[in-house]
């Protein structure tokens, strides 16, 4: 069958076929839509261009070293926006300060442009480890692990610490520092030579020990008593000079000793233990049992030949059990 036989337009000589008319109609509408869209986009471009060029040209302020709040105060008058781009370590600026900006300071831009900034988190942090009470080699390892360096090493005589053991450090353990910072150490060079007297460490020990030592050295100490509920009565709270300080015949020796109300006072007993010579560092643990129950009164590592002295307040008959590296080595009665 001839398709033209069913098209009504064929009944009129010279008429357009219906399918052609339909295609021509869609083409006209498509052209009109494209023209309308182009006109809309062109108008939008003209509007945006007009709005853009109607904005004032301003100069970007310098935000370096400023906080976000300070930066906003500088940007608001010139109608510029602010955006935080990131955070980085920077030892030259404190945490929260702006270290970098884009666009840079001094550049002339139009209003409402966004200035992107990077903030400082401060310098990298290192915690100073506890280097006191250990051999110098161990102290160096601890400093190296913490990213710190060994500073000046001073050597002093000491009755309290063995040769080569760190006595004090600067800065103190737990102090915040920066990587590579130096830590100064004071190291023991052992007991003093003959004729040199060092101040013992009497803090938290009965004043009777301090008094006896002062008498042996022909010294007359100054004693100040202070009322306290946190310490047992008769204990040395402070001393001058500090432990291991050389003491001469005319040294000014002072003690601050605790006291308490008579009604609150209890018997104070000193539990002593001498670590045997020729041993490695050991852990000494002392457990006390009295009418108040059983409690641990001491637990710490000690070197060979050291002396442990623990003041305790006992309630009724008591016994002290001494353990070395977990093994019971001695048990003794304590009484009033």
Whether 175 and 167 have beta carbons less than 8 Å apart is answered as no
Two structure tokens written together for 208:
């009777």
In-domain check, residue 114:
yes
235: domain CATH number is 3.30.10.20
User: What are the CB-based long-range contacts (under 8 Å, 24+) for 74-79?
Assistant: 75/115, 78/111, 79/111, 79/112
Rg (CA), the chain: 43
Is 208 found in the same domain as 220?
yes
Two structure tokens written together for 189:
């060079």
Is 226 found in the same domain as 247?
yes
Q: Please return the burial class of 24, using the count of CB atoms within 10 Å of its CB with bins 0-12, 13-18 and 19+.
A: exposed
**pLDDT tens per residue across span 55-75:** 789 999 999 999 999 999 999
Q: Which of 284, 290, 289, 257 is nearest to 272 (CA)?
A: 284
Identify the domain boundary among 211, 246, 265: 265
Q: What share of the chain in percent tops pLDDT 70?
A: 82
Domain count, the chain: 5
The pLDDT, as a whole number, for residue 18 is 52
Q: Quick one: pLDDT band at residue 264, thresholds 50, 70, 90?
A: very low
Q: Quick one: pLDDT band at residue 114, thresholds 50, 70, 90?
A: very high
Whole-number Cα distances in Å, 8 to 20, 22, 198, 276, 327: 13, 14, 129, 126, 118
The pLDDT, as a whole number, for residue 65 is 92
Is 179 found in the same domain as 130?
yes
In-domain check, residue 9:
no
Determine the structural domain holding residue 177 and report its residue range: 126-188
In-domain check, residue 12:
no
**Which residues have C-beta within 8 Å of that of residue 164, sequence separation ≥ 6?**
135, 136, 187, 188, 189
In-domain check, residue 309:
yes
Identify the domain boundary among 120, 153, 175: 120
In-domain check, residue 225:
yes
Is 252 found in the same domain as 273?
no
Q: 194 forms bridges with which residues in the sheet? A: none
The gap between the terminal CA atoms of the chain, to the nearest Å, is 133
**Which residues have C-beta within 8 Å of that of residue 40, sequence separation ≥ 6?**
none
**pLDDT tens per residue across span 292-321:** 888 888 887 787 888 888 877 787 888 999
Is 114 found in the same domain as 75?
yes
Average pLDDT of every residue of the chain? 83
In-domain check, residue 299:
yes
Is 336 found in the same domain as 275?
yes
The pLDDT, as a whole number, for residue 263 is 44
- Averaged pLDDT, 31-41: 72
Is 146 found in the same domain as 112?
no
pLDDT over 50 at 265, yes or no: no
327: domain CATH number is 2.60.40.2560
**pLDDT tens per residue across span 225-247:** 988 766 677 888 999 999 899 99
Residue, of 215 and 37, whose pLDDT is higher: 215
In-domain check, residue 5:
no
In-domain check, residue 99:
yes
Two structure tokens written together for 137:
């080699």
């Amino acid at each position: 069958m001839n398709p033209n036989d069913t098209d009504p337009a064929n009944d009129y000589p010279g008429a357009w076929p219906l399918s052609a008319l339909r295609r021509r109609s869609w083409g006209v509408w498509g052209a009109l839509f494209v023209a309308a869209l182009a006109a809309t986009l062109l108008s939008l471009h003209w509007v945006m261009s007009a709005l853009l060029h109607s904005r004032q040209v301003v100069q970007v302020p310098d935000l370096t070293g400023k906080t976000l709040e300070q930066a906003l105060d500088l940007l608001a008058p010139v109608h510029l926006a602010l955006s935080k781009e990131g955070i980085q370590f920077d030892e030259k600026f404190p945490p929260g300060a702006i270290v970098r900006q884009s666009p840079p300071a001094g550049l002339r831009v139009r209003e409402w442009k966004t200035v992107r900034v990077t903030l400082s988190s401060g310098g990298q942090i290192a915690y100073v480890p506890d280097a006191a009470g250990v051999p110098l080699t161990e102290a160096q390892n601890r400093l190296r692990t913490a990213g710190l360096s060994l500073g000046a090493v001073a050597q002093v005589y000491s009755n309290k610490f063995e040769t080569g053991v760190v006595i004090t450090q600067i800065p103190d353990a737990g102090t915040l520092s920066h990587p590579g910072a130096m830590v100064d150490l004071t190291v023991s060079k052992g007991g003093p030579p003959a004729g040199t007297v060092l101040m013992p460490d009497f803090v938290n020990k009965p004043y009777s020990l301090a008094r006896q030592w002062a008498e042996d050295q022909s010294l007359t100490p100054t004693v100040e008593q202070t009322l306290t509920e946190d310490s047992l009565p008769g204990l040395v709270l402070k001393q001058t000079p500090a432990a291991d300080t050389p003491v001469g015949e005319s040294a000014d020796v002072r003690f601050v000793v605790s006291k308490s109300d008579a009604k609150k006072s209890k018997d104070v007993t000193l539990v002593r233990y001498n670590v045997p010579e020729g041993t490695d560092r050991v852990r000494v643990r002392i457990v006390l049992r009295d009418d108040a129950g059983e409690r641990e009164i001491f637990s710490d590592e000690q070197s060979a030949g050291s002396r442990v002295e623990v003041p305790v307040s006992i309630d009724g008959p008591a016994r002290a059990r001494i353990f070395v590296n977990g093994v019971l080595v001695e048990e003794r009665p304590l009484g009033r």
